[in-house]
């Protein structure tokens, strides 16, 4: 035992000796490294910093930034101290990075440096963006853009336009973001690094808006670029994007292979793309109907989100709804409740940062429904029997309600079909000439209550000869189907028949029994009712095309006019025509 003990002490002493040697060597190499930096000027140091920083060599770039700031302070060079703050904040955690930018702002306010307010706001926007505070990020970018325009600083105007495009992309405005990235990729001369970033973000937008061929071309271009060949981060960005494009095309196995490679890399460098990769790997397994692996990835994603506090991508809701449904099917109330709690926590933060997206809450698990379901589950865990009885009663009410709604829907459908059939019969009973010169009689079943458009006690002011003249012109207007022309107004029609709007309106009101708008709509709808029966090709047109043929500016105004006059929708009318033709 004594020999063993002495041997152990000997080994410990030897280990301590080795540690002393290693530590001495480390100090020596560090001092040697710092001594070697003394030969560089500020410009060289900055270039060396960005060479390391752009290639993910954080230790080396951080060492240079510290030396840069120390050198500037020692030489009392405030301009370079400011540059040192900029360099050093890039590798710091959020609180420290913000302190350095606040120090930079203080130097600027005291006019001890030429660093502009525009640049400081831009840097702060980048910092908030990096640490998932998109609201603060956007506020700073807007201020940065404002001051850059005041100072006519094109470089910072461009930088903030691009930064706001990043946020647009995050917030789902991918068409707008794509325009910006495309402009800066193809029309502005950029560094290799900036060009690569424009390409990556444009690919992301193309994937979101389903321009997958364009995305694939840019992915291949990026993978073959010199920048990607010497930059692992960039290669894995393109792998990640390629995986997402494959997922969009339902090539789930290819997507999993590429996304998994990207995930292993990004997780090794603690990059937030890890979370995105996990999410899309989970979606790919869900596409393959492999629920177990999908759930496994979503659970890992949730654990990462809690650890990193990163939540800012709205799609994350899908992961939680998937987990909630999964454990609901498994009758695992505890886990279902847990993931509802997690969903609500994440959803709250997302809602704070994406206010205008609040209308796009998940259809299946929107916040109010989840809160209600949460209460139901808690009560169920406390008293299953009571909730079971309540649930049966609730389902009974739902069934009764659904039955009532179904019955009412069927009744309304029969009424609409009857109206359509009456309309068809009314139109078919008339000759072609009559259809062109006389209005179609709408069956009584189609009459709906509208506002009174004329008054019974109208004082006539139009001379009789002018009345007859206007009626004759209106007959021509109807026979020649001039009412199909777009943009007709009472003023334009009055001008074309060489009268004034007062006389025209009065004649239409007294002789036609309706105001001008109703008169014009009735002519157009009567024409449509007739032509839809006679013209099979016209029936095949899309709603917008039919509306434009009839002189309407958009499909909504046509649909409203058709429903107001006939009491049914266009689709019901066409459906009944097709049925009668097939008999």
Q: How far apart are alpha carbons 237 and 269 in whole angstroms?
A: 13
Q: How far apart are alpha carbons 75 and 345 in whole angstroms?
A: 50
Sequence-distant (6+) residues with CB within 8 A of 376 are 387
Q: How far apart are alpha carbons 562 and 559 in whole angstroms?
A: 5
Contact 231, 54 (CB under 8 A): yes
Q: What is the DSSP letter of 365?
A: S
Q: What is the DSSP letter of 306?
A: H
DSSP 173-204: -HHHHHHHHHHHHHSS---HHHHHHHHHHHHH
Q: What's the CA angle centered on 477, arms 471 and 479, to 5 degrees?
A: 100
DSSP 70-92: HHHHHTT-HHHHHHHHHHHHTTS
CA 413 to the chain's CA centroid: 37
Contact 272, 310 (CB under 8 A): yes
The pLDDT, as a whole number, for residue 437 is 46
Q: If we measure between CA atoms, which residue out of 550, 543, 511, 552 comes closest to residue 528?
A: 550
> How far are the Cα atoms of 101, 212, 311, 330, 372 from residue 249, in angstroms, in the given order?
44, 8, 26, 30, 36
Q: Which domains does the chain have, with CATH numbers?
A: 421-582 (1.10.10.60)
Contact 105, 130 (CB under 8 A): no
Q: What's the CA angle centered on 555, arms 552 and 557, to 5 degrees?
A: 65
Q: How far apart are alpha carbons 309 and 353 in whole angstroms?
A: 14
The pLDDT, as a whole number, for residue 459 is 60
The pLDDT, as a whole number, for residue 384 is 67
> How far are the Cα atoms of 199, 292, 304, 346 from residue 282, in angstroms, in the given order?
26, 10, 14, 18
CA 304 to the chain's CA centroid: 24
- Give 284's Cβ-side CA count (13 Å radius): 25
Q: If we measure between CA atoms, which residue out of 322, 54, 308 comes closest to residue 197?
A: 54
- Structure tokens given for 8: 């152990």
The pLDDT, as a whole number, for residue 298 is 93
- Determine the longest span between alpha carbons in the chain, in angstroms: 136
3-state per-residue secondary structure call for 428-468: HCCCHHHHHHCCCCCCHHHCCCCCCCCCCCCCCCCCHHHHH
Q: How far apart are alpha carbons 323 and 364 in whole angstroms?
A: 13
The pLDDT, as a whole number, for residue 523 is 93
Contact 386, 379 (CB under 8 A): yes
- Structure tokens given for 509: 């009101």
Q: How far apart are alpha carbons 413 and 173 in whole angstroms?
A: 40
Residue range 27-53, pLDDT digits in tens: 344 444 555 777 888 888 888 888 888
Q: If we measure between CA atoms, which residue out of 254, 276, 253 comes closest to residue 265?
A: 276
Q: How far apart are alpha carbons 40 and 34 in whole angstroms?
A: 11
Q: How far apart are alpha carbons 549 and 562 in whole angstroms?
A: 14
Contact 108, 100 (CB under 8 A): no
Q: How far apart are alpha carbons 562 and 451 in whole angstroms?
A: 16
Phi and psi torsions of 361, nearest 5°? -60, 155
> How far are the Cα atoms of 327, 332, 378, 392, 502 from residue 375, in angstroms, in the given order?
16, 15, 5, 17, 65
The pLDDT, as a whole number, for residue 91 is 87
Q: How far apart are alpha carbons 207 and 467 in whole angstroms?
A: 64
Q: What's the CA angle centered on 407, arms 402 and 408, to 5 degrees?
A: 100
- Give 98's Cβ-side CA count (13 Å radius): 12
Task: Write out the H or E segment, with its range, that includes residue 221.
Answer: helix 212-223
Residues, the chain: 583
Q: If we measure between CA atoms, which residue out of 581, 484, 494 comes closest to residue 540?
A: 581
Contact 49, 61 (CB under 8 A): yes
Contact 108, 117 (CB under 8 A): yes
Q: Could you say which residues of the chain have pLDDT below 50?
A: 1-32, 356-366, 368-369, 431-433, 435-437, 445, 447-457
- Structure tokens given for 110: 């005291």
């Amino acid at each position: 035992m004594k020999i063993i003990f002495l041997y152990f002490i000997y080994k410990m002493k030897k280990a301590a000796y080795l540690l002393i040697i290693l530590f001495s060597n480390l100090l020596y190499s560090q001092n040697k490294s710092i001594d070697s930096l003394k030969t560089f000027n500020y410009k060289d140091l900055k270039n060396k910093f960005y060479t390391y920083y752009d290639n993910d060599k954080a230790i080396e770039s951080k060492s240079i930034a510290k030396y840069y700031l120390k050198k500037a302070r020692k030489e009392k060079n405030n301009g370079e101290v400011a540059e040192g703050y900029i360099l050093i904040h890039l590798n710091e955690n959020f609180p420290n990075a913000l302190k350095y930018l606040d120090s930079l702002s203080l130097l600027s306010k005291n006019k001890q440096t030429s660093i502009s307010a525009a640049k400081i706001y831009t840097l702060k926007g980048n910092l908030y963006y990096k640490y998932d505070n998109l609201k603060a990020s956007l506020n700073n970018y807007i201020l940065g853009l404002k001051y850059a325009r005041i100072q006519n600083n094109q470089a910072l105007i461009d930088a903030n336009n691009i930064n706001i495009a990043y946020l647009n992309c995050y917030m789902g405005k991918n068409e707008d973001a794509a325009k910006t990235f495309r402009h800066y990729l193809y029309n502005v001369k950029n560094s290799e690094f900036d060009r690569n970033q424009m390409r990556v973000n444009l690919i992301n937008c193309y994937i979101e808006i389903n321009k997958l061929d364009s995305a694939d071309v840019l992915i291949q271009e990026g993978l073959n670029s010199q920048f990607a060949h010497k930059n692992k981060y960039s290669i894995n960005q393109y792998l990640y994007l390629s995986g997402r494009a494959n997922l969009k095309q339902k090539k789930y196995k290819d997507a999993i292979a590429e996304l998994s490679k990207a995930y292993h890399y990004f997780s090794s460098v603690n990059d937030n793309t890890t979370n995105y990769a996990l999410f899309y790997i989970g979606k790919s397994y869900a596409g393959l109907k492999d629920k177990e692996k999908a759930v496994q990835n979503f659970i890992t994603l949730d654990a990462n989100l809690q650890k990193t506090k990163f939540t800012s991508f709205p799609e994350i809701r899908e992961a939680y709804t998937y987990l909630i449904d999964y454990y609901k099917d498994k009758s695992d109330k505890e886990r279902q409740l847990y993931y509802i709690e997690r969903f609500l926590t994440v959803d709250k933060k997302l809602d704070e940062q994406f206010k205008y997206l609040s209308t796009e809450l998940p259809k299946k698990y929107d916040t109010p429904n989840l809160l209600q379901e949460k209460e139901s589950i808690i009560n169920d865990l406390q008293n299953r029997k009571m909730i079971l009885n309540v649930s049966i009663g609730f389902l009974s009410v739902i069934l009764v309600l659904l039955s009532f709604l179904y019955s009412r829907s069927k009744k309304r459908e029969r009424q609409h079909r009857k109206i359509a059939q009456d309309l068809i019969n009314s139109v078919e009973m008339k000759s072609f000439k009559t259809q062109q010169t006389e209005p179609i009689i709408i069956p009584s079943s189609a009459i709906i209550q509208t506002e009174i458009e004329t008054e019974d006690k109208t004082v006539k002011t139009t001379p009789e000869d002018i009345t007859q003249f206007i009626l004759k012109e209106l007959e021509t207007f109807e026979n020649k189907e001039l009412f199909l022309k777009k943009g007709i107004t009472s003023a334009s029609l009055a001008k074309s028949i060489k009268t004034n709007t007062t006389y025209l309106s009065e004649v239409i009101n007294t002789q036609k029994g309706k105001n001008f708008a109703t008169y014009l709509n009735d002519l157009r709808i009567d024409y449509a009712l007739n032509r839809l029966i006679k013209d099979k090709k016209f029936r095949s047109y899309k709603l917008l095309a039919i509306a434009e043929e009839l002189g309407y500016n958009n499909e909504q105004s046509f649909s409203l006019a058709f429903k107001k006059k006939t009491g049914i929708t266009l689709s019901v009318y066409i459906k009944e025509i097709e049925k009668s033709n097939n008999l």
